[in-house]
Structure 1
C-alpha cells in the first residue's frame, strides 16, 4: 500500500486526533479472522504491529490473498459505504496489535463535522481505489493465462 493511504499521510493532525479519541486497543493472534466477506461491517482497524492478509473468496478454489497490510494501514473500508457489508475477508498472518474503531461512532462524527467527514471520505476512497487496483493485479497474476503482464 502506498504511504498516501496511511492515516498519518491522509489525515491532518487535527483530524487524526479526533479520530484517535474513538480508538481502542485490540490484539489478534496469528490465524484469527478479523472479518468475513459478506458479513456486517461495523468496525475498522489501523494496524499498529503485525500483518493482516486481505482475501477474496473464489468459488471452487482456495481464497485468494489480495494484499498484506502492516503498520499504519487501514483494515476495512466497507463500514463507510452502504450496505456496510465486507467486500473481502481478513486474517491475522502474525500476532497483530491494532486500534479498533466503532463504525457507527465514526460515521456520526463525520455527519456532525463535514470537514472531518470529507477528510475521512477522501482517505477511505483512496484506500478503496488502491485495493481495487491490487485486487485486479493479484487476480490477473493468479488466473489470467499470462499473469498481469506488468499492467498498471
Structure 2
C-alpha cells in the first residue's frame, strides 16, 4: 500500500457498474501498509457491495483498475516497432507503408525522408544508430529517438 501514497487507487466492478477512486494517502492512514489483495474486501464494503469476497457463489467482482498505458508500463511491454528497432532493423527491412519519424527531447517531431537517408548512410544502416546522427533544427542537439509508424489508409 505504501507505493500508492500520493496516488489514486481506482476500483471497478462491471457487474455492479461501479468505478470509484480512493485517495492513496487516506487509505494508507486508515489501513496502514496492508497488502493490496487484502484491502480489496474493505474497498468493496466502502463502495457499498454486499456480495462476499470469499466463498463459491455470487462473489464480489470488484478489482483494481489500471489504464492500458499503466498496465503496459508496469509489465514492461514495448511496441512491435520498438522491438524491431531494438533487434537491429535496417532501413532495407522497412516496408513501403512504414514511415520513420524523429522525436527530439525538446518536443519537436519530424518525418524523415527515407530515400535521402538511404543515400546518406546506406540501406544497411540500423535504425537505432540513426538517432545519434540526427541533428534537431530547433535545439541543435543530437538527442532524437527514431520511431516507425504506418501510413494512414
Range into which the TM-score falls when normalised by the shorter chain? under 0.3
Say which structure, 1 or 2, has more relative contact order (CA 8 Å, 6+ apart).
Answer: 1
Larger Rg: 2
- Going by fraction, where is strand more abundant, 1 or 2? 1
TM-score relative to the length of structure 2:
0.22
TM-score where L is the length of structure 1: 0.22
